[in-house]
Amino acid sequence: QEATGDYSTAGWAAVHAAWACDDQNAQEASRLCRLKAIQLFQEANGASNLSQTGAQEAFKFDPSKVPDLPEPRPMFEIFVYSPNVEGVHLRGGKVARGGLRWSDRIEDYRTEILGLLKAQMVKNAVIVPVGAKGGFVAKQAEGIECYKTFIRGLLDLTDNFIEGQIVPAHNVVRHDDDDPYLVVAADKGTATFSDIANEIAKEYNFWLSDAFASGGSSGYDHKKMGITARGAWESVKRHFREIQVNIQTQDFSVIGIGDMSGDVFGNGLLLSQHIKLLAAFNHLHIFLDPNPNPQKSWEERQRLFNLPRSTWADYNPKLISEGGGVFSRKSKSILISPEVQAMLGIQAKSLKPNELIHAILCAPVDLLWNGGIGTYVKAQTEHHAEVGDKSNDAVRVNGQDLRCKVVGEGGNLGFTQLGRIEYAQNGGRINTDALDNSGGVDCSDHEVNIKILLNAIVANGDMTNKQRNHLLAEMTEQVSELVFKNNYLQTQAISIPLSIYPQMFDLHARFIRHLEKQGQLDRELEFLPNNKILAERRAAQQGFTSPELCILLAYSKISLYQALLGSDLPEDPYFRSILENYFPTPLPTRFAEEIAQHRLHREIITTQLTNLVINRGGIAFVYMLEEETGQTAPEIVRAFMVAWEVFDIEKLCLDIEALDNQINSQVQLKMIMSARQQIERASRWLLRHHRMPLDIAKTIETLRPGVTQLADSLDGAEPEDLEKLAQQLIEAGVPSELATRVAR
């Protein structure tokens, strides 16, 4: 077809579908090619811009209707083709978002994007849209022009909102339902392209305008905010807090993947002035500093961060401790000083660069901070070929060989999931990249939804664009705080079951089987234990690892989100405050009515409720009460909200969390668990003894006075066991009033 110039969408649909199946047999590929061409356009094709005039052609199809495509299956797939560029965009749902990557994997870029989509679906469990991911390869033109062509191909197939009405894309053969929500973001190779994408959106008169691509000149600059690194640092701080170390006041040793010019690595290694960075590497250099001065090295890292396009070679050699230095990865071998030998716990006097990196990854340090690109840790049971990152095969290590106490995953895909599990089973403290670095997508989601709100106000003439941009800038730190709160609560939701794992094991095992039975979870795909392994762990009194619980947390949220969004619960007037609390404080005060009319108000309310219930109630809270009471997820959430308000659980939790680094973290977790048990008991009672559906506001109004009166009547008359518990908490450093309340 390239030879004849026939770039028909139908022909390329067939080629793409057969190629996507990753079939290596030529005859079978030919057969699939013919079958897929027929099947895609008779069954799966939702829209095609075959009749469009332009440099690109695109088609959209439903992957669930195409046999042999690898899992996971997104809801929609768009394939864009032109002589200069081709690419795919995969979406997990109608309201979905994720980055567009400039891929260098021309032979298998769909495989790359599919793997990233899988991670994005889990990461996006904390935000309004579900996961999406796109990628393109440049063939015969400059990268920016290829990006523009790819964006136009996506918008060619996307419906629009004009004067409140859905308007189908122009000159498109369309067979699917209305589908106007398309949001993109920066990714590898496209970090500075947001303004380009938004200009094209304006060219198409697309309703999202500059909310189409988050960031850019009138959006939130993630590197300046340090949003991804600061969000991941919440995980790092919690890991250390749970071993009674405050990394903001105590020195700790670090090895790193990346360099100071990078967003996540650079911002991350400036978040504490007590970091002792012993070693780091990127694709060019290896940095070694066996005995750094924390303050002076922090100042030098700050200088490099501010220096455009800095590398480790720019580090002032006078500030590197004896035996250290900066070495090229192109060197044939590197002499290892006695100081570096002691730091890495090795005896070799010289190593090849890749061998030295291997030793760095296995160094006995406090923290491994990943802010780079590539996969560096796998499981012993995995082969390098399974990892899909050939360029790092020579340096990759096994999870069981790591000697660091904590891993912070600021970057994506630094570990395989099995590598994480293996490391955790050997005592390491780690979550997942999706949980650690969700701050970036969370920030972008807030930006998009704030812009949707404010753009409507600008369109009505109640605000100028200049005023809008000024307001966006003013709210930067408030948006950051909303994001970090989500990071904090998600890590806490993992820590609680880890602290009482034998107690929660059977419940979580049943929940996994339930999700699998409902077709909402593929255990094998997510590396969750099968029934045989579950039985072995139960017998050995071994629970789920943190990386496994992170996956289960995400799927719990995905499941609850779907159940709530499909109900009438988001329409309950009681949740207006939940909707307003999503936005930074100036907005609800000034634009309460406009917020109530937000185009995604149902999705925002559902996301807020999902995060609140799962973060505070627990991973299997809704499933457990479904089992026990037979009630539906929406009714369980109604009961949760009544309990949450009647017993003022929010204030209780905030008071407990204010004691970070002041009392033993295990005491804190036990108090949070006590608050959670109060929610469980009250919700269970409501579901069993009140008529459904609960009127949330009226039930709170009815029950709150009695609960308050009961609490007041207990003053000075606590039973002996409650008084004893309160005294134990006081002796652990808990303020007297809070200790008494928790004990009750």
Cα pseudo-dihedral 711, 715, 720, 722, rounded to 10: 40
Residue 168 DSSP symbol: P
From CA 93, how far away is CA 70, in angstroms rounded? 18
Is-contact 716 648, C-beta < 8 A?
Answer: no
Tell me the C-alpha to C-alpha distance, in Å, between residue 380 and each of 56, 363, 423, 549, 639.
45, 18, 10, 21, 46
From CA 200, how far away is CA 209, in angstroms rounded? 9
Tell me the C-alpha to C-alpha distance, in Å, between residue 470 and each of 65, 440, 464, 475.
47, 21, 10, 9
From CA 472, how far away is CA 480, in angstroms rounded? 12
From CA 75, how far away is CA 737, in angstroms rounded? 52
Find the catalytic residue in 133, 276, 378, 557. Answer: 133
From CA 301, how far away is CA 303, in angstroms rounded? 5
From CA 97, how far away is CA 11, in angstroms rounded? 29
Exposure class string for 604-624: b at 16+ Cβ within 10 A, else e: bbbbbbbbbbbbbbbbbbbbb
Is-contact 285 326, C-beta < 8 A?
Answer: yes
From CA 618, how far away is CA 298, in angstroms rounded? 38
* Burial of residue 254 (number of CB atoms within 10 Å: 0-12, 13-18, 19+): buried
H/E element, 277: strand 275-281
Residue 87 DSSP symbol: E
Cβ neighbours, 10 Å, residue 284: 13
- Nearest of 543, 257, 550, 547 to residue 422 by alpha carbon: 547
Question: What is the number of alpha carbons within 13 Å of residue 736 lying toward its C-beta?
Answer: 2
Classified as helix, coil or strand, 256 is: strand
Name residues whose C-beta falls within 8 Å of residue 702's C-beta, 6 or more positions apart in sequence.
none
* Catalytic (active site) residue 133: yes
- Nearest of 565, 685, 700 to residue 645 by alpha carbon: 700
Token pair for 608: 């807020």
Q: Which residues are catalytic?
A: 133
